[in-house]
């Protein structure tokens, strides 16, 4: 039995266990123990111009900066956290990681110009099924750490599409093309938006959101995600 399956069984029957290693959580720990948090493969690439995520999105949408909190792999430290955040109702993990990411970037040149934090939206049907939008949980954690306001309900997903899991780069783009719209372009006019999602893989979702946001006059876009698939 592989480690990830063992940890899922542990956290299913022992909800006060760390979702990564299965250790019993202390009273001040939320979903993941401090030992595992310390071992997260953080990139600190908000300090680095032309980092890997920025190179991935170069020439696809106009953006100011892109930062990713950690390197992502299913077998790595971040994988189980994202899995439980998205599929096991552990919304508090999004808040926690968003807060930690925000604290890392607090006072940096990356955050200083931001006016609004904008989570990548789910379709209302998907959000109803899940009970929350995981990107919004991350955004609200970032907001708690940085005091930057969160904007929801203006960038919306208008088409219900299949999951991106196991799709090729081309299929991912076709799956998200034209599925986002801005309700009130004037609200974001002249603003610097921080677009937030859980993981950037091919960048197709971020690209689709960015193209929708270009309908707003003089908008500037930066991006922050918890993970980047390398």
What's the mean pLDDT in 148-162? Answer: 92
Q: How many CB atoms are located within 10 Å of the residue 4 CB?
A: 14
Evaluate if residue 56 carries a pLDDT over 90.
Answer: yes
Structure confidence by residue, pLDDT tens digits, 81-93:
999 999 999 999 9
Q: Provide long-range contacts, Cβ within 8 A and 24+ apart, for 171-178.
A: 172/201, 172/202, 172/204, 172/205, 173/202, 173/204, 173/207, 173/208, 175/204, 176/204, 176/205, 176/207, 176/208, 177/208, 178/208
pTM recorded for the entire structure: 0.89
* Position with higher pLDDT, 127 vs 178: 127
Evaluate if residue 57 carries a pLDDT over 60.
Answer: yes
Structure confidence by residue, pLDDT tens digits, 182-212:
999 999 999 999 999 999 999 999 999 999 9
Give the domains, in start order, of the chain with CATH numbers. 1-39 (no CATH), 40-229 (3.40.50)
């Amino acid at each position: 039995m592989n480690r990830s399956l063992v940890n899922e069984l542990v956290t299913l029957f022992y909800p006060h266990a760390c979702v990564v290693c299965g250790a019993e959580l202390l009273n001040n720990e939320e979903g993941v123990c401090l030992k595992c948090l310390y071992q997260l493969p953080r990139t600190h690439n908000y300090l680095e111009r032309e980092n890997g995520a920025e190179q991935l999105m170069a020439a696809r949408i106009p953006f100011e900066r892109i930062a990713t909190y950690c390197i992502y792999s299913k077998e790595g430290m971040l994988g189980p956290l994202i899995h439980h955040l998205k599929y096991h109702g552990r919304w508090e993990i999004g808040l926690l990681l968003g807060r930690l990411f925000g604290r890392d970037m607090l006072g940096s040149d990356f955050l200083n110009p931001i006016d609004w934090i904008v989570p990548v939206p789910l379709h209302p049907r998907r959000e109803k099924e899940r009970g929350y939008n995981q990107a919004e949980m991350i955004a609200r954690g970032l907001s708690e750490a940085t005091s930057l306001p969160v904007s929801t309900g203006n960038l919306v997903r208008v088409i219900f599409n299949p999951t991106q899991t196991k799709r090729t780069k081309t299929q991912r783009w076709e799956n998200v093309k034209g599925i986002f719209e801005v309700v009130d372009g004037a609200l974001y006019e002249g603003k610097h938006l921080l677009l937030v999602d859980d993981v950037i893989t091919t960048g197709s979702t971020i690209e689709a959101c960015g193209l929708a946001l270009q309908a707003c006059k003089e908008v500037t876009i930066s991006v922050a995600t918890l993970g980047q698939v390398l």
